[in-house]
Amino acid sequence: MATLPPGISSAEFETALGKFEEAVGEEWVFKSDEDVALYRDAYSPERDEPTERLASAAVAPVTVEQVQQIVRIANEHRIPLYPISTGKNLGYGGSAPILSGSVVVDLKRMNRILSVDEGRCSCVVEPGVSYFDLYDHIQQRGLKVWVDCPDPGWGSVVGNALDHGVGYTYGQYRDHFGSHCGMEVVLPNGEVMRTGMAALANDNQWADYKYGFGPYVAGLFGQANFGIVTKMGFWLLPEPEAYRRGMVYVPKRRDLIPLVDHVNYLENLGLIGQPGFRSPLGASRAREPELRALLEKPGGPTDEELDRFAESKGIPSWGVELQFYGPEKTIAGSWDYAKERIAASIPGATFEDGVAYRFPLTEAQKAEVQRVHRLVDVGVPNMSIFSIAGGRTEQNPDHADGGQFYFAPMIPRTGEAVLEAGRVLAEAYREAGLPYNDHFALPACWHYRAFIMITSLPVSRLDPEVNRRSRAAFEHIARVAAEHGWGEYRSPPFGVDLVMGAYSFNDHALRRFCETLKDAVDPNGIIAAGRGGIWPRHIRESNA
Amino acid sequence: MATLPPGISSAEFETALGKFEEAVGEEWVFKSDEDVALYRDAYSPERDEPTERLASAAVAPVTVEQVQQIVRIANEHRIPLYPISTGKNLGYGGSAPILSGSVVVDLKRMNRILSVDEGRCSCVVEPGVSYFDLYDHIQQRGLKVWVDCPDPGWGSVVGNALDHGVGYTYGQYRDHFGSHCGMEVVLPNGEVMRTGMAALANDNQWADYKYGFGPYVAGLFGQANFGIVTKMGFWLLPEPEAYRRGMVYVPKRRDLIPLVDHVNYLENLGLIGQPGFRSPLGASRAREPELRALLEKPGGPTDEELDRFAESKGIPSWGVELQFYGPEKTIAGSWDYAKERIAASIPGATFEDGVAYRFPLTEAQKAEVQRVHRLVDVGVPNMSIFSIAGGRTEQNPDHADGGQFYFAPMIPRTGEAVLEAGRVLAEAYREAGLPYNDHFALPACWHYRAFIMITSLPVSRLDPEVNRRSRAAFEHIARVAAEHGWGEYRSPPFGVDLVMGAYSFNDHALRRFCETLKDAVDPNGIIAAGRGGIWPRHIRESNA
């Protein structure tokens, strides 16, 4: 074994592993180099460097009782644990720990779907249940419910929610942590706790009401290290009668500002799912040398110059794809309304009807969905994003040997903020020596009420220089973003302190409050050290 | 001063009050009997008894810095504090503390509306801002946004959310805590902390994204005692184009089961606001002696007997009022769909169009709203509920001198659960010697995904026997409910331990976890002892 938990002797580690084996069975403790290597972060930007975050071993329990035993053994021997659900969070650490030497607690075997209730539109699942598993279960039982899926669909429903992951349908369901309801968690002392109505002696309202009575503690278990979540309830969407898409295009650069306001209005009223902003003008760059020249001139083009070019070619500056879910009559009415509202306010706005379906979809329709937009838009998990993104990124088109990690700051949900962030991030990327979609950068709209300017940085398995440059770029761009008041909602493992550092109000009062809680709940600091930027006392002190 | 903080000498208390006066100004520390009496719970079921929960004094800061000073002084002298926003939470304790002798920290003077953003549909407010204040501010600025209001409208927007209060429009907005985004809180050590994006150095995304990065701690400040919340962001609704109501009636008793399923479907898809279940058959009791006879016969009527009676008179067993908000075309489509869907599944279902408006409302339309349904349905705060409920309750129609408190268990959102809960609660009420709406009890649908069987128990300012009976009834009925797995989401002060006691999974692991957090964050136990059923260590130990 190359990696040991910090401060633990090889002999003591062997003793602890022996106890893990007693708890879960010898075949479910992984300690050979080959086995442990499977837990490396496939997209680590620290690959093969001394800082690469490596597990010392892994243990795969199948019951809550086994998780409790593991936690008790870890306390006894001060073994740091790093729980993962399925470990598919590529770009954000995958199945590797944040603290090297941690023992990964791999929950993949805990994959029971405990309930799916069609009438109440909810489910309760274990961490090893993937979106594929849950979808298949629902299809097999013929239930008329949907799971809002992230992309790709092989990840854990529980793990994605705990990482504050996001999806594609209605805003309230896209917030996967917010649409969870009730959880079971093994605390750092080995006790099992349930939150909300799941804490009642009779758990038949597990997924009905999240707060229960008194303090609502579930937030402490997302992006955090206060326990190991072993079950979660979720609110599902009912299968709608129908779906339709509609495209809106606006001519001028600054039309983005009212366009965003209109889209916000539609989303805040629950009339649309995730909107998809586009720039036809930006997309035309490849075939328009005149536009490229304009973009490359010193100081860049003015808005008026871009507008003149766009008008001369009849290319809209911006567009947005809207998604409507519900009864056919309802969504036809909503699309009509969107057209009327936007046409009345943005001169030259144009509209285009998109695809429309009734559910359930035929196989031919599913193929059309996949061709025209995305299966996740209609609640079908899949892996097609890998064929799009793969290891290639705009910043690193040649490194198919690699992958990427994300720098994705949240910005205000306004057109002004998008234009400003595009400018600022382009400058920061230039300073970092990496390309960026200048002038036409658009936000991802996964989050319900905020925009994310998602950008990715390349990693390589072969060229450490690529990784060093990406890490340095991340640090530079994160600092620039923080200066503008933009924070991130997630972080690759090497960036947790930097990202948490931006949430600095009153000398990092939030982080210090979390540290107080952490020391109280996990005095030995055994659970997921570093996750969410929170470290146990002994590591904070040794780093001070 | 009749009441002192427990274990504090009169001299030390005087010293602390002197320091409070230095902090906030003499006129904002209330210590005379007359002044302190204003903080009594107007609806206390312990009125004039030795257990009545009484403040020792009150202090009204106007800035966050003053709140910090108060907290620091309280720590120094071990003075228990009980923060209130506006203290209008009648039926759940009002402005009185849970622990007698606490100094009420009255935040009514902190009443700034820090922002209302129309495009992003959000606001940031202080605890002294009432629903009336916020509504008036929005009207004066002519902004096209709504606040989902509780009934009545004089309470605090912050206070209601922190109490897990609820409203009347769309499910996601009815959850007032869930639709908050970002808070500022004075911790028990006197430090100020902000959560989510509000913790960024630049707070221009305060109300855009609630989780920020890392552990999400905001849940610890609702129904709890981990700090004093001094600002909160909220998501508002955009003003919809139009509103319409539609009534659905179903003939048979067990039609309630599919009716609830259909209503759940509509709500889960975001097509309707709060539904209002009704029983025309139950309402006909007063004028139908034959029905009364049926209900009073030994063993009660069978479903078939009730159905025969209902059919003979042409009275529907159940009904539901649906509320649609949005573009006219959208909501017309949704109402059509609701009719088609329900008609296809429940034989004999009938439908009735209700009122319809476009916004903004004329004064004549507002009068119609108030006559036909409720102003809160269209986001207008008001006080009309007092003319309906006042101090009278079904259980105590004669005690206009009194008030009520609530016993309101959450039950699953199914028709079966409603019928069962009606039967079980009627039996429990009978055992407690109080009347109950047997056979036709229906849930309140404030919560998005769960039903509440809201019942109220009478209190009297004149007759302690009424209060004793109500307290005993609460204890009996809460025990019966807990046996059926039904917990409450809120509690009158005297019931917090009983209510929290039902959340008993694994020997009250949830409560014990909260106690661990409480001891770490508030070692002197000065903030809101007992709130949410969580007591500081010194009180737990002295009660043990």
Backbone angles phi, psi at A238, to 5 degrees: -75, 145
**Which amino acid is it at B2?**
A
Give Cα B23 distance to the centre of its chain: 33
- Euclidean distance between CA atoms A2 and B2, whole angstroms: 70
**Dihedral angle at the C-alpha atoms of B84, B86, B88, B94, nearest 10 degrees?**
20
Q: Tell me which residue has tokens 């009424």.
A: B466
List, as ranges, residues 514-533 from A with C-beta within 8 Å of B: 514, 516-517, 519-521, 531-533
| Domain containing residue B74 | 10-106
Is A469 in the active site?
no
Q: Is the dihedral of CA A222, A231, B235, B208 positive or negative?
A: positive
**Residues whose CB falls within 8 Å of the CB of residue A514, separated by 6 or more in sequence, listed in order:** A224, A532, A534, B214, B215, B217
- Euclidean distance between CA atoms B23 and B5, whole angstroms: 20
pLDDT over 50 (residue A395): no
Both B85 and B117 in one domain: the answer is: no
pLDDT at B390: 45
Pick from B173, B169, B179, B382: nearest CA to B276: B169
Both B512 and B536 in one domain: the answer is: yes
Neighbours of B77 (CB within 10 A): 17
Give the active site residue among B374, B469, B490, B531. B490
Neighbours of A216 (CB within 10 A): 25
Q: Tell me which residue has tokens 């519900």.
A: A326
Residue in chain A lying closest to B415 (CA): A119
Yes or no, beta carbons of B509 and A120 under 8 Å apart: no
Give Cα A39 distance to the centre of its chain: 20
Task: Note whether residue B221 is domain-resident.
Answer: yes
Mutate to test the interface with B, among A448, A507, A510, A515 (most CBs of B within 10 A): A510
- Euclidean distance between CA atoms B371 and B355, whole angstroms: 11
- Euclidean distance between CA atoms A273 and A376, whole angstroms: 12
Both B230 and B122 in one domain: the answer is: yes
Both A246 and A345 in one domain: the answer is: yes
B423 Cβ under 8 Å from any chain A Cβ: no
Residue in chain B lying closest to A520 (CA): B520
Distances in Å between the alpha carbon of B374 and those of B352, B389, B422? 18, 14, 26
Both B119 and B226 in one domain: the answer is: yes
- Euclidean distance between CA atoms B278 and B259, whole angstroms: 12
CATH number at residue B89: 3.30.43.10
Per-residue pLDDT band for A393 (boundaries 50, 70, 90) equals very low
Q: Tell me which residue has tokens 């609502």.
A: A216
- Euclidean distance between CA atoms B265 and B288, whole angstroms: 34
Strand B103-106 and strand B57-59: the pairing is: parallel
Task: Note whether residue A269 is domain-resident.
Answer: yes
A217, B220 contact by CB (below 8 A): yes
Tokens of A143: 């239930």
Q: Tell me which residue has tokens 């002298």.
A: B77
Whether the ω angle into residue A152 lies within 30 degrees of 0, i.e. cis, is yes
Tokens of A275: 């909107």
For residues A139-160, average pLDDT: 95
Tokens of A396: 């690193």
A230, A186 contact by CB (below 8 A): yes
Both A169 and A254 in one domain: the answer is: no
pLDDT over 70 (residue A386): no
> What DSSP letter does each residue of A86-152 carry, written as one string?
S---TTTTTT--SSTTPEEEE-TT---EEEEETTTTEEEE-TT-BHHHHHHHHHHHT--EE----SS
Helix A64-77 vs helix A10-24: angle between axes, to the nearest 10 degrees? 160
Pick from A451, A456, A457: nearest CA to A420: A451
- Euclidean distance between CA atoms A384 and A465, whole angstroms: 29
Both A119 and A233 in one domain: the answer is: yes
Yes or no, beta carbons of B238 and A269 under 8 Å apart: yes
Q: Exposed, middle or buried: residue B297 (CB in 10 Å: 0-12, 13-18, 19+)? A: exposed
- Euclidean distance between CA atoms A210 and A198, whole angstroms: 8
- Euclidean distance between CA atoms A233 and B98, whole angstroms: 32
- Euclidean distance between CA atoms A300 and A440, whole angstroms: 13
Residue in chain A lying closest to B212 (CA): A489
Residue in chain A lying closest to B487 (CA): A200
Q: What is the separation, in whole angstroms, between the first and last Cα of chain A?
A: 29
DSSP, res A19: H
pLDDT at A503: 96
Yes or no, beta carbons of A122 and B198 under 8 Å apart: no
pLDDT at B387: 55
pLDDT at B333: 98
pLDDT over 90 (residue A281): yes
Pick from B477, B191, B178, B193: nearest CA to A181: B178
Both B182 and B255 in one domain: the answer is: no
**Which amino acid is it at A243?**
Y
Yes or no, beta carbons of B505 and A181 under 8 Å apart: no
**Residues whose CB falls within 8 Å of the CB of residue A539, separated by 6 or more in sequence, listed in order:** A99, A525, A529, A530
The pTM of this model reads 0.96
Both B416 and B353 in one domain: the answer is: no
- Euclidean distance between CA atoms A505 and B202, whole angstroms: 8
A277, A320 contact by CB (below 8 A): yes
Both A252 and A205 in one domain: the answer is: no
pLDDT at A370: 87
Distances in Å between the alpha carbon of B286 and those of B295, B299, B427? 12, 21, 21
- Euclidean distance between CA atoms A439 and B544, whole angstroms: 67
Q: Cα-atom radius of gyration of chain A, to the nearest Å?
A: 24
Query: From the list B187, B209, B482, which residue is nearest A201 (CB)?
Result: B482
Pick from B90, B3, B105: nearest CA to B54: B3
Kindly report the nearest CA distance between residue A130 and chain B, in angstroms.
23
Task: Note whether residue A302 is domain-resident.
Answer: yes
Q: Tell me which residue has tokens 């965003």.
A: A260
Last residue of a domain, one of A106, A130, A150: A106
Task: Note whether residue B332 is domain-resident.
Answer: yes
Task: Assign B351 to helix, strand or coil.
Answer: strand
CATH number at residue A520: 1.10.45.10
Give the active site residue among B120, B489, B537, B540. B489
CATH number at residue A142: 3.30.465.10
Query: From the list B122, B171, B514, which residue is nearest A217 (CB)?
Result: B514
Neighbours of A49 (CB within 10 A): 12
Q: Which residues of B329-363 are buried (b: 16+ CB within 10 A; e: fewer)?
A: bbbbbbbbbbbebbeeebeebebeebeebeeebee
B449 Cβ under 8 Å from any chain A Cβ: yes
- Euclidean distance between CA atoms A400 and B526, whole angstroms: 59
pLDDT over 60 (residue A411): yes
Last residue of a domain, one of B359, B393, B419: B359
ipTM of this complex: 0.96
| A42-69 pLDDT, tens digit each | 899 999 999 999 999 999 999 999 999 9
Pick from B112, B334, B352: nearest CA to B230: B112
Strand A455-459 and strand A403-407: the pairing is: antiparallel
Task: Note whether residue B263 is domain-resident.
Answer: yes
Yes or no, beta carbons of A517 and B514 under 8 Å apart: no
**Residues whose CB falls within 8 Å of the CB of residue A373, separated by 6 or more in sequence, listed in order:** A245, A321, A354, A355
Which residue(s) pair with B320 in the sheet?
Answer: B248, B277
- Euclidean distance between CA atoms A84 and A104, whole angstroms: 7
pLDDT at A528: 98
- Euclidean distance between CA atoms B461 and B342, whole angstroms: 48
Task: Note whether residue A382 is domain-resident.
Answer: no
Total number of domains in chain B: 5
Tokens of B417: 């659960």
Is A490 in the active site?
yes
Q: Tell me which residue has tokens 């899926």.
A: A149
Both B47 and B130 in one domain: the answer is: no
Q: Is B121 left (phi over 0), alpha (psi -120 to 50) or beta?
A: left
Q: Tell me which residue has tokens 């871009």.
A: A306
Last residue of a domain, one of A42, A77, A106: A106
CATH number at residue A352: 3.40.462.10
pLDDT tens track, chain B, 544 positions? 569 999 999 999 999 999 999 999 999 999 999 999 999 998 999 999 999 999 999 999 999 999 999 999 999 999 999 999 988 888 888 999 999 999 999 999 999 999 999 999 999 999 999 999 999 999 999 999 999 999 888 899 999 999 999 999 999 999 999 999 999 999 999 999 999 999 998 888 999 999 999 999 999 999 999 999 999 999 999 999 999 999 999 999 999 999 999 999 999 999 999 999 999 999 999 899 999 999 998 888 999 999 999 999 999 999 999 999 999 999 999 999 999 999 999 999 999 999 999 999 999 999 988 888 889 999 999 887 665 444 444 444 444 567 888 899 999 999 999 999 999 999 999 999 888 877 999 999 999 999 999 888 999 988 999 999 999 999 999 999 999 989 999 999 999 999 999 999 999 999 999 999 999 999 999 999 999 999 999 999 987 6
Is B92 in the active site?
yes
Give the active site residue among A47, A490, A511, A531. A490
pLDDT at A89: 84
Both A521 and A415 in one domain: the answer is: no
